[in-house]
């Protein structure tokens, strides 16, 4: 029986809107631990990473010291899980935390792919970001395109090769970010591509790209990828996202691929939610990627 480690991160300092630091509690409250246990897994809840109470900041890298601290702590916790043979499920928290979790997966397995499910590209760095909010930078950071402070904890980072990096559901990508994604060779399946191709073709191709020559795939899932009518509890809402069935088809297909090494579930903000609707949805998506099926 495989072990699943739950690791929460009480982080909202990478985002402009506060409250997403309570996301791990919302997903736990929805019953994620019991749900995973009911699938036959041993579950170890490793508690929450809590960032520094205060730290240095700048206009181009807001709260960078606290973001770095949280990511370093998460890196160590995620790496420990991988070394123990467990499957880490990281409960966010804003998306800046993926810099720590993906860095750990890459360090442990050496060559991985990433599937980044998000309304946004998260491919900015300190030069291209219009806001300085670091939850818009982690995908760039784990692929070695900066900012280095998000991924360098003195461990000699192992970067994700962009030929194995896939972005899904993008529909609000900054102009400079779009240029950088293209220049670095990241595969992007925008919401328009999903409309045109259909989710079955998109996720099949995404898995093929992310797993080509790699040990497996780290999935980083931002709930703002889903249309806001279904996922209102998130801080950077963008209209016309993934439908619920598209989202569940995607994670169900990722599960059956047998190639997923770790999962981030991020950007659940209970302060903006309705009766924990988004927290419950995040919990169900986690269960689906771990094998829950709909008959």
80 has catalytic annotation: no
For residue 118, is the peptide bond before it cis, meaning its omega torsion is within 30 degrees of 0? Answer: no
108 has catalytic annotation: no
Q: How far is CA 156 from CA 82, 110, 178, 218, in A?
A: 18, 12, 28, 19
95 has catalytic annotation: yes
- Exactly one of 5, 177, 267, 273 is catalytic; name it: 267
- Exactly one of 5, 48, 69, 122 is catalytic; name it: 122
- Exactly one of 69, 118, 252, 284 is catalytic; name it: 118
Whether residue 253 contacts residue 35, with contact meaning beta carbons closer than 8 Å, is answered with: no
218 has catalytic annotation: no
Can you name the residues that pair with 165 across neighbouring β-strands? 114
- Exactly one of 69, 94, 174, 222 is catalytic; name it: 222
Whether residue 292 contacts residue 248, with contact meaning beta carbons closer than 8 Å, is answered with: no
Q: How does 99-109 read in b/e, with b if 16+ C-beta sit within 10 Å?
A: bbbbbbbbbbb
120 has catalytic annotation: yes
239 has catalytic annotation: no
- Exactly one of 5, 135, 264, 284 is catalytic; name it: 135
- Exactly one of 5, 69, 177, 224 is catalytic; name it: 224
The conformational region for residue 218 under phi > 0 = left, psi -120 to 50 = alpha, else beta, is: beta
- Exactly one of 5, 68, 82, 95 is catalytic; name it: 95
135 has catalytic annotation: yes
148 has catalytic annotation: no
- Exactly one of 68, 82, 108, 120 is catalytic; name it: 120
Instruction: Give the catalytic positions in this structure.
Output: 95, 118, 120, 122, 135, 222, 224, 267
């Amino acid at each position: 029986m495989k072990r699943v480690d739950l690791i929460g991160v009480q982080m909202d300092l990478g985002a402009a809107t506060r409250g997403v630091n309570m996301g791990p509690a919302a997903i736990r409250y929805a019953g994620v631990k019991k749900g995973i246990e009911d699938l036959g897994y041993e579950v170890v809840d490793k508690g929450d990473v809590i960032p520094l109470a205060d730290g240095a900041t700048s206009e181009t890298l807001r709260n960078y010291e606290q973001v770095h601290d949280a990511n370093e702590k998460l890196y160590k916790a995620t790496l420990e899980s991988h070394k123990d043979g467990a499957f880490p499920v990281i409960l966010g928290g804003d998306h800046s935390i993926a810099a720590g979790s993906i860095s750990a997966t890459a360090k442990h397995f050496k060559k991985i792919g990433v599937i980044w499910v998000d309304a946004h590209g998260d491919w900015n760095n300190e030069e291209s970001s219009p806001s300085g909010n670091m939850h818009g930078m982690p995908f760039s950071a784990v692929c070695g395109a900066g900012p280095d402070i998000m991924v360098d904890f003195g461990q000699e980072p192992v970067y994700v090769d962009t030929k194995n990096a896939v972005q899904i559901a993008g529909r609000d990508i900054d102009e400079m970010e779009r240029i950088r994604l293209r220049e670095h060779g990241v595969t992007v399946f925008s919401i328009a591509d999903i409309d045109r191709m259909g989710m079955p073709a998109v996720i099949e191709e995404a898995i093929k790209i992310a797993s080509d020559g790699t040990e497996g795939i780290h999935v980083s899932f931002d709930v703002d990828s889903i249309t806001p009518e279904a996922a209102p509890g998130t801080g950077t809402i963008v209209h016309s996202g993934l439908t619920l069935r598209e989202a569940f088809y995607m994670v169900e297909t990722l599960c059956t691929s047998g190639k997923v090494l770790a999962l981030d579930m991020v950007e659940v903000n209970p302060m903006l939610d309705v009766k924990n609707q988004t927290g419950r949805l995040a919990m169900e998506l986690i269960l689906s990627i771990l094998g829950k099926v709909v008959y």
